[in-house]
Amino acid sequence: MSLIKLTGITKRYRMGDETVFALDHVSMAVEPSEFVAIVGPSGSGKSTLMNIIGCLDAPDEGEYILDGENVSALPDRELAILRNRKIGFVFQHFNLLGKLSAFENVELPLIYQGVRSASRKEMVTEVMEKVGLTARLKHRPNQLSGGQQQRVAIARALVTRPSLILADEPTGNLDSKSGREVMDTFHHLHKMGNTILLITHNNRIAAEAQRMLSIQDGKVTCPEDYLSMEREAERRQTSGTDKEVRGA
């Protein structure tokens, strides 16, 4: 069974008289333990897709099955419960709390879940080991490098043992060395069996994933489809120009 299955997912925005298809009948699936990247330019629909997959927003049309549950049918309150249980988010800007230590930042979601102190300590220690930050537990975010801060954010996403790690431009705010550090962490987590969906505008980063999908004008395709779409568009453009020349 797929962990994520989207069928015909559509999201429209009305701007005056015009309707923008932020997502245009998107169908795709992610299997358990896969590392998938979705790559697309600015405005292609990445954040809209992330919000829907992350159960932060509902589509206008289509069906979304997450880990066997039909998300499209759920009311907001249940959507929030499912989100907290199933998804670990990693954002471009880390979103760590500046006054808390690395340990406390990672511990926070467990406090919200009502996990007891002794188990929290065990769980936080375990994920900090996985992201290689055992020596930085007491550091505050401003005492850590960008790459280390993002690894704390990854540990925070991981600590509740979600079915899916959903990362939106996780390297977008980092220099190349720190970006490398974060990608190595994702590779390590993937090897340990975690499912990762990474959303980025960076082709080079996306190409590192096990499988890559493209998003363009709200349509998701695999790269081969995308190339043939580009060629088709070029062909049409060329034949259009031909006609104009002939008509002139």
Ligand X SMILES: Nc1ncnc2c1ncn2[C@@H]1O[C@H](COP(=O)(O)OP(=O)(O)O)[C@@H](O)[C@H]1O
The residues binding ligand X (CB under 6 A) are: 13, 15, 20, 22, 40, 42-48
> In sequence order, what are the residues at sequence separation of 6 or more whose Cβ sits closer than 8 angstroms to the Cβ of residue 32?
1, 2, 3, 163, 195
* Of residues 51 and 194, the one with the C-beta less far from ligand X: 51
Question: Of 83, 165, 80, 156, which is closest to residue 120 (Cα–Cα)?
Answer: 156
* Of residues 49 and 159, the one with the C-beta less far from ligand X: 49
* Of residues 95 and 125, the one with the C-beta less far from ligand X: 95
The least distance separating ligand X from the CB of residue 158, rounded to whole angstroms, comes to 24
The least distance separating ligand X from the CB of residue 41, rounded to whole angstroms, comes to 7
Residues that bind Mg ion (CB under 5 A): 46-47
* Of residues 5 and 46, the one with the C-beta less far from Mg ion: 46
The least distance separating Mg ion from the CB of residue 168, rounded to whole angstroms, comes to 7
Give the one entry of Mg ion, ligand X, none that residue 20 binds, where binding means its C-beta sits below a cut-off of 5 to 8 angstroms depending on kind. Answer: ligand X
> One-letter amino acid identity for 69?
E
Give the one entry of Mg ion, ligand X, none that residue 13 binds, where binding means its C-beta sits below a cut-off of 5 to 8 angstroms depending on kind. Answer: ligand X
The least distance separating Mg ion from the CB of residue 42, rounded to whole angstroms, comes to 7
* Of residues 34 and 168, the one with the C-beta less far from Mg ion: 168
171 CB neighbour count, 10 Å cutoff:
24
DSSP run (H or E) holding 84? helix 76-86
The least distance separating ligand X from the CB of residue 222, rounded to whole angstroms, comes to 18
Give the one entry of Mg ion, ligand X, none that residue 176 binds, where binding means its C-beta sits below a cut-off of 5 to 8 angstroms depending on kind. Answer: none
What is the number of the residue whose Cβ is closest to Mg ion? 47
Give the one entry of Mg ion, ligand X, none that residue 43 binds, where binding means its C-beta sits below a cut-off of 5 to 8 angstroms depending on kind. Answer: ligand X
Cα 126 to the chain's mean position, in Å?
Answer: 23
Q: Is 232 helix (H, G, I), strand (E, B) or coil?
A: helix
The least distance separating ligand X from the CB of residue 20, rounded to whole angstroms, comes to 5
> In sequence order, what are the residues at sequence separation of 6 or more whose Cβ sits closer than 8 angstroms to the Cβ of residue 109?
84, 156, 159, 160
Cα 193 to the chain's mean position, in Å?
Answer: 17
> One-letter amino acid identity for 23?
L
User: What is the DSSP code (8-state) at residue 51?
Assistant: H
* Of residues 43 and 240, the one with the C-beta less far from Mg ion: 43
> In sequence order, what are the residues at sequence separation of 6 or more whose Cβ sits closer than 8 angstroms to the Cβ of residue 69?
82
